[in-house]
Structure 1
Amino acid sequence: MLGFLLYLLLTLLFSCWIFPSRAYRKLKKNGFVGPIPSFPMGNIREMTNNRKLFIYWLGAEPFLYVADPEFLRKMSSGVVGKSWGIVKVFKNNREPMFGSGMVMVEGDDWVRHRHVITPAFSPSHLKAMASLMVEPATNMLDKWATLINSGKPEIDVEREITTTMGEITAVTSFGLSYRDGSSGSRLFEKLQAVQDTLFNSNRYEGVPFSKWMCPKKTLEAKRLGKEIDQLLISIIDARKSCWDGSSPRNDLLGLMMNGDGQAGMSLSTTELVGECKTFFFSGYETTALALSWTLLLLAMYPDWQNQLRDEVRQLFGDGQINFEKLTDLIKMEWVLKEVLRLYSPAPNTQRQAREDIKVDDLVIPNGTNIWIDIVSMHHDPTLWGDDVNDFRPDRFKDDNLYGGCKHKMGYLPFGFGGKMCIGRNLTLMEYKVVLTLMLTRFSFSLSPSYRHSPAFMFSLRPKYGLPLLVERL
């Protein structure tokens, strides 16, 4: 008993004081400063918005906060993707949701995962997926028409779009049915449940022994994670049992299972499960939120809604979508980029240094946690001008890549460097297909019941849903 108590005391001492103090002294020695932390919550309350580079504490975990695009450019210059590490406090807590997927692996394993997955996002494979998106989206719009006909024009478009994007992801990436009770719908429901559970149990991230502060939520997240693993393993096993060794199906799962034929470039079942979890979650979430925030802004700015509708009609008339012409929806692409600037689905990103990184006269020590505040840079008037908070898609007219931002690292809708989001072209295609179908059938206006409250739950979501008044054209 005495030995056990001594062990607990030493663990508490090292976790709460010695390790954090050592990391803080290394950062301070190299020229970084920040508010003094308070036990046990760190200094999250003392963080200010008028500084772009400082140390802050998430519980007992020191972070280097970065919202300076020039510092970010110098920091990331010469650092390859595989040399960035995963912040351990997040890695441990989010394992039920992402498993051993690409966002959770490092070094050569990250390179191998990236090499296996990249072919799935080639233009030829994306084109094959495009036609499969139409039916789920059309079913959603048919449902909306039925609701409107029955006198219910107010629709929570965020909830509807999220469910439909889950169906599209299930069909195009894994060939899964999405009927009630099917593998696709159960997988989607459990992933949403584990996301909500993890968010509610991770409010004390960085605080020593935080997982014991919400033991029920922690255990629930692990249980859901295991259930998702078993469901995906059964899907993978079923795919293997019917594969005769010929060319695999050209969806994400088939391409990942096949690797590229090179020795050492395949994924284990555990890794396949992790990638399926990662892609299913990120695959539907980013596009669903981009579409949801778009409909809100188009409802607020009907002139832009009409401009996009006119653009769609000029390209496609009243006929079917010509997938070859999706790239010609220029104004729609401006709108997407402006939406991703104002309402970034991933408001921040984290890295952990795997080597000492020199930036001018400063040195970021090996092992330093780094918090990159994307939403702050996207709303910085020194980068974008006094109209930074205005919805102005035409800012991308003359500068299609950066929207007139005064620094190229100030606009990061899909991350940066070697770890830029691998599915960004898929997101763009899904967005254009689904929004085109919406605009050809309906117009959108604000509902009096809408409450504007963007909330961060691993991604930026409308806290109270997104009810809009939907009218048939």
Structure 2
Amino acid sequence: MAGGRFLVDGVGWGGWVAGVLLLGWVLRTLRWVWWTPRSTERKLRAQGIDGTSYRFLFGDIRETMRLTREAKSKPMPFSHDIPPRVLPFHHQIVKTYGKVSMTWLGVSPRVIIADPLLIREVLLNKSGHIGKPKLGPLGQLLTGGLLSYDGEKWAMHRKIINPAFHVEKLKRMLPAFSYCCAELVRRWESLLNPEGSCEVDVWLELQNFTRDVISRTAFGSSFEKGKRIFQLQDEQAELVLQSLQNFQIPGHREVDREMEDLLREIIARREKALRQAAPGAANGDDDLLGLLLQSNQVGFQEDGTSRGVARMTTEEVIEECKLFYFAGQETTSILLTWAMVALAMHPSWQDRARAEVLQVFGREKPDFARLSQLKIVTMVLHEVLRLYPPVLFLSRITRAATTVGEYSLPAGVQLQLAVLLVQHDPEYWGDDAGDFNPERLAEGVSRASKNQSPAAGTAFFPFGGGVRVCVGQGFAMVEAKMGLVSILQSFSFELSPAYTHAPSVVMTLQPQYGAQVILRRL
């Protein structure tokens, strides 16, 4: 002992402890960045899962970014065979290594699955060993809510949300749908020149249309405040895109705070009205928020005390409202945009769809009952969803060791279910898989596959599948049908010479340079 401190060969105990801690940190880091990835790679290769080799720390990130930049640097021909442009890395991997392939997202192993039977097996998995990966901070800012939950919390939220999207509830929203469709037609008519034509970017126009729809159907009489929330989400999205370059999100807290304050005010007013309403009285709020709060209120007594039933907190309701906005307008605006582009490219199908609309509705406003009679319009929308699905991948993660088909997957493997690649695969859709041919859907989606393999009817996942199938798909399809009917009743349209065909991924599948169309009054 010297100077009151223990020494071992001249080194203090504090130095030894620090050295041991440093060694432990080094070993944990090595396990994370090298030993575990290499061990997982050996296990996957031993089962016949081929793919790229693990590259220290970055994996395939740099190659993915390089191929994506290269693909986006130039437009493509007027073709619907889009996977090589929008997913160049994944398209190349599956083409080279097969429909179950291994890649690397940094240090995380990622298995791309482009086999519809295996995708279906993953989506139907009830073991709890396969779950939804956590959204990163950027994803949480924009979507959150039901999309980010798993397990019991997801089940509780889904149970509360489901009644708001029941078909009978959708019927009550028809006046809002109809009003927004009429406003869209009136706006476009106001833009027509004396010859009865005009050029518009339908991507921007249809975003405004679907935002108007979701503002009115989500918040009813508060739709003007709802429009402000959309503006804030736009600002949030722009900040997110900036953060991808700057590695920070300047100003996002102020934007998020204003958005939450607006939603909190609307929710508090609605909840107060619900508590004060007489038992059994009609609430009068048939919008999504009103229906969601009514469903959530089941867990409370008339005096506001809990019945012990699980319910959402105000913060959780706010997150669901954000998701209503983002998913509710994004999916349908993309569907309608690509539908108009496809029908402009294929005028014979535009004529067939319009003839059906005029036969069923004439010039009358579309009603809910007769929407189900639109066979050709439905075929067109399903074919657009096949060729241009809004979401190109469904993501899952193995929370524990599990089996998928013949493969034994260790915990921690990310699964990318390749929706776009499956929906363009000639094995399931025929040699014309990259063509726009709604006729293939004449007997419905379940019989659309041209071959007779066991996968027939399972190679179509634009709304996901299994228990997590999109809760709003009925809403989206009704909105898309009514929007397309109103447009076909009033205008013919063709692609503008200014249009550049360049599908691109910005969270969802969007036209990189807009979708310029020439409208002509009928």
1:85 is aligned, of 131, 140, 157, to: 131
Q: CA deviation at 1:177?
A: 4.3
- 1:33-432 matched pairs, under 5 angstroms: 33-44=50-61, 45=63, 48-50=93-95, 51-79=98-126, 84-88=130-134, 90-99=135-144, 101-149=145-193, 153-178=198-223, 182-202=224-244, 214-216=246-248, 218-243=249-274, 244-246=276-278, 247-248=282-283, 249-259=285-295, 261-262=298-299, 263-404=308-449, 406=451, 407=455, 408-432=457-481
Q: CA deviation at 1:233?
A: 1.6
Counterpart in the other structure of 1:209 = none
Q: CA deviation at 1:39?
A: 3.9
What is the SS of the residue equivalent to 2:54? coil
Q: Structure 1 CA distance, aligned partners of 2:265 and 2:187?
A: 32
Verify: 1:32 aligned to 2:32, yes or no.
no
Specify whether residues 273 and 17 from structure 1 end up closer, same or farther in structure 2 by C-alpha distance, changes over 3 A only.
farther
Structure 1 gaps of 5+ residues are 203-212
CA contact (8 A) 2:129 2:401 kept: no
Q: Structure 1 CA distance, aligned partners of 2:462 and 2:508?
A: 13
Instruction: Write the letter of the residue equivalent to 2:155.
Output: V
Q: CA deviation at 1:399?
A: 3.7
What is the SS of the residue equivalent to 2:461? coil
Q: CA deviation at 1:10?
A: 7.5
Specify whether residues 24 and 380 from structure 1 end up closer, same or farther in structure 2 by C-alpha distance, changes over 3 A only.
same
Which deviates further from its counterpart, 330-339 or 252-261?
Answer: 252-261
What is the SS of the residue equivalent to 1:94? helix
CA contact (8 A) 1:347 1:373 kept: yes
Specify whether residues 215 and 120 from structure 1 end up closer, same or farther in structure 2 by C-alpha distance, changes over 3 A only.
same
CA contact (8 A) 2:390 2:509 kept: yes
Q: CA deviation at 1:189?
A: 1.5
What is the SS of the residue equivalent to 2:208? helix
Counterpart in the other structure of 1:436 = 485
Q: Structure 2 CA distance, aligned partners of 1:292 and 1:323?
A: 22
Specify whether residues 439 and 8 from structure 1 end up closer, same or farther in structure 2 by C-alpha distance, changes over 3 A only.
farther
Equivalences, count: 455
Instruction: Write the letter of the residue equivalent to 1:58.
Output: L
Q: Structure 2 CA distance, aligned partners of 1:457 and 1:437?
A: 28
Instruction: Write the letter of the residue equivalent to 2:458.
Output: M
Structure 2 gaps of 5+ residues are 1-14, 64-88, 300-307
Q: Report the aligned-residue RMSD.
A: 2.7
Q: Structure 2 CA distance, aligned partners of 1:215 and 1:17?
A: 25
Q: Structure 1 CA distance, aligned partners of 2:250 and 2:447?
A: 43
Instruction: Write the letter of the residue equivalent to 1:69.
Output: P
Q: Structure 1 CA distance, aligned partners of 2:184 and 2:434?
A: 32
CA contact (8 A) 1:116 1:265 kept: no
Counterpart in the other structure of 2:518 = 469
Normalising by structure 1, we get a TM-score of: 0.88
What is the SS of the residue equivalent to 2:395? strand
Instruction: Write the letter of the residue equivalent to 1:241.
Output: K
CA contact (8 A) 1:96 1:224 kept: no
Q: Structure 2 CA distance, aligned partners of 1:177 and 1:149?
A: 35
Q: CA deviation at 1:12?
A: 5.9
CA contact (8 A) 1:199 1:457 kept: no
Specify whether residues 465 and 316 from structure 1 end up closer, same or farther in structure 2 by C-alpha distance, changes over 3 A only.
same
Instruction: Write the letter of the residue equivalent to 1:366.
Output: A
Q: Structure 2 CA distance, aligned partners of 1:363 and 1:336?
A: 38
Normalising by structure 2, we get a TM-score of: 0.80
Q: Structure 2 CA distance, aligned partners of 1:163 and 1:73?
A: 35
Counterpart in the other structure of 2:86 = none
Q: Structure 2 CA distance, aligned partners of 1:9 and 1:148?
A: 68
CA contact (8 A) 1:97 1:194 kept: yes
Q: CA deviation at 1:219?
A: 3.8
Specify whether residues 177 and 233 from structure 1 end up closer, same or farther in structure 2 by C-alpha distance, changes over 3 A only.
closer
Instruction: Write the letter of the residue equivalent to 2:218.
Output: S
Q: Which structure is larger by alpha-carbon Rg, 1 or 2?
A: 2
Counterpart in the other structure of 1:206 = none
Deviations 1:371-420 (CA, angstroms, capped at 9, x unpaired)? 11110011111111111111100101134435225423311111111111
CA contact (8 A) 2:341 2:495 kept: yes
Q: Structure 1 CA distance, aligned partners of 2:235 and 2:43?
A: 39
Which deviates further from its counterpart, 189-198 or 383-392?
Answer: 189-198
Which deviates further from its counterpart, 393-402 or 429-438?
Answer: 393-402
Instruction: Write the letter of the residue equivalent to 1:191.
Output: Q
